[in-house]
Amino acid sequence: MCGIFFSLSQSGSVSPNEETCCLLRNRGPDSFQAHSLQHDAHADQADARGSLCLTFVSTVLSMRGDHLVSQPLVDTATQSVLCWNGDAWKIAGEPIQGNDTEVIFNLLLQATKPSSESSPPSDTVQSVADVISSISGPFAFVFYDAVNSRLFFSRDCLGRRSLLQGCDKRGSLKICSLCDGTSTTHFEEVLTDGMHMIDLTQSVLQDTPEATTGANVTFNLETIQTIPWNNSDSPAGHNLRNPIPPMNMSTPDGEPPQLSVESLSVSNLEQKLRQSLALRIQNVRAPPGATAEGDVKVAVLFSGGLDCTLLARISHELLPHDETIDLLNVAFENPRVAAAAGKEAKAVSVYENCPDRITGRAAFAELQTVCPDRNWRFVAIDIPYVETVAHRDTVKRLMRPHNTEMDLSIACALYFASRGQGVAFDSRPTHPEPLAYTTPSRVLLSGLGADELFAGYARHGMAFARSGFEGLIEEIHLDVRRLGKRNLGRDNRVIAHWGREARFPFLDEEFVAWVSQMPVWEKCGFGVPGSVEETSLESGLDSEKKALRLVALMLGMNQVAREKKRAIQFGSRTAKMEKGKVKGTDALS
């Protein structure tokens, strides 16, 4: 995980404030560098007010290749600059060997190099778009093409990395992995509708009344152009090739076929998920301070639910058997829940009584039974109410510009879970008592995306009951279309605070594309009569995410296959900690 800061100003170099620098260092503890340059306006330009100052700051969490690559990357020949925060797993369908930042920078330099006298001038904007289109993996970046005086910035189409933009009170444009400044500074998520470009040969400034902004000149946000993602082969104008094809909208002709563990689609699903997971957990560099081959390199954000446990189970097939896998399970002291439970609850730990702790312990036991030759480490992360309160302002700071009660509840759970600090319970304990422990892993697996792709929410069932397969398909289609607009940016800012990187196997572009083209009856079990015999292992499976439930059964996880969907804020008990009528959509004071 890396941290990015960029500013464009007429009033000299504008750097991030001290607090933002500290937060960026937390995201990328391995390197911190800054680079500034001047762009001088020419007299014949539309706006020749003088020079503009471009400031780039990058921090690096080094995860790829065999050496640290500090950023920003600067090309000495052209003065082009790249700040990159991402994991490019493939370029044009081919896995990347070595450091992905260096590979992408070289491709961008090739795309923007000036044409020779013997060759026709190239469309460098489309060439940059073609490079970005070829990347498979999560990313956010800022790239300055010094040859053509253009600035490009973007997030991937699914929005898996954070990037914010806004103008400060002095009119300078800022693009950053997190908000720079106080809550009054205007920042918004960079949209995932395409790649954004600023042509510095054109007018980018506008006069503004000094009483309003504190400056006579401010950056004009309307000068930002967007090169959109497009599914068409040959649309007019510049475009990015959308890796997610249109969804399969077909409905079954009559009663759909019964899904079972023997279904070819279920077997194919397991293989596709395995491929996505392998890219994200194999060949992970040992974390700093690792002393042995068996040290932990991969941890799972672990509620004991279907999605995360399935990732843990398949990870067992892909990692060396002497490598421990950490299962990070968080539970909170919720004074409102404790008060409602009364005296009879005092004999039971408030943490062990949390729904996610109960399912987490059960799934941990099932993993030990099914995969006895693996050391699984269950990390019980207990958060007292006083500690939640002590960190609340930090969580609010990280999740900006999000600002609702629900945002805070979810962000708190992810913040403390990704810290990875608790008490360790090993499958193969080497001590008589569990020990205090903090995971060294920099890679955290998350099951996010499974509910959207496989109809895992209660509203999917309601859509089917209301409008049949047409209603169900439209609800799933809506979820897939808005994945990039959801809350992955917020989650990224909170998790990365601990110098760790969340990876989302269910949100691999190739996996999402493949699932999107599956017919709906191969994803879930709605509309199929309950014809399975009660003695069968497949009996009693919920319709939501049925295909994934069958994969779990196929891998021996009989109990996990039957787990119900539960929102993280309710499972960990971060929701509604204080008394009073509060809605999740209420803005924080």
User: Which positions are annotated as active-site residues?
Assistant: 2
- CA pair distance 518, 246, nearest whole angstrom: 11
- Identify whether the C-beta of residue 319 lies closer than 8 Å to the C-beta of residue 294: no
DSSP secondary structure letter of residue 587: B
Three-point CA angle 224, 17, 40, nearest 5°: 45
- Identify whether the C-beta of residue 470 lies closer than 8 Å to the C-beta of residue 324: no
**Distance from the Cα of residue 459 to its chain's centroid:** 23
Residue appearing with tokens 């090309």: 75
DSSP secondary structure letter of residue 586: S
- Identify whether the C-beta of residue 22 lies closer than 8 Å to the C-beta of residue 1: no
Closest CA to 376 of 329, 417, 421: 329
Residue 175 pairs with which residues in a beta bridge? 6, 165
The sign of the CA dihedral 110, 114, 119, 123 is positive
- CA pair distance 55, 403, nearest whole angstrom: 29
Rounded-to-5 percentages of helix, strand, coil across the chain: 35, 20, 45
Closest CA to 81 of 37, 45, 44: 37
Closest CA to 439 of 260, 302, 569, 540: 302
- CA pair distance 562, 560, nearest whole angstrom: 5
Closest CA to 569 of 251, 303, 298, 211: 303
- CA pair distance 21, 29, nearest whole angstrom: 11
- CA pair distance 268, 259, nearest whole angstrom: 13
CA distances from 537 to 267, 532, 555 (A): 17, 9, 12
Phi, psi of 61 (to 5 degrees): -105, 105
- Identify whether the C-beta of residue 5 lies closer than 8 Å to the C-beta of residue 59: no
Largest CA distance in the chain: 86
- Identify whether the C-beta of residue 218 lies closer than 8 Å to the C-beta of residue 167: yes
Structure tokens belonging to residue 587: 């803005």
Three-point CA angle 27, 28, 30, nearest 5°: 150
Neighbours of 533 (CB within 10 A): 8
Phi, psi of 259 (to 5 degrees): -80, 140
- CA pair distance 112, 118, nearest whole angstrom: 17
Structure tokens belonging to residue 71: 């950023």
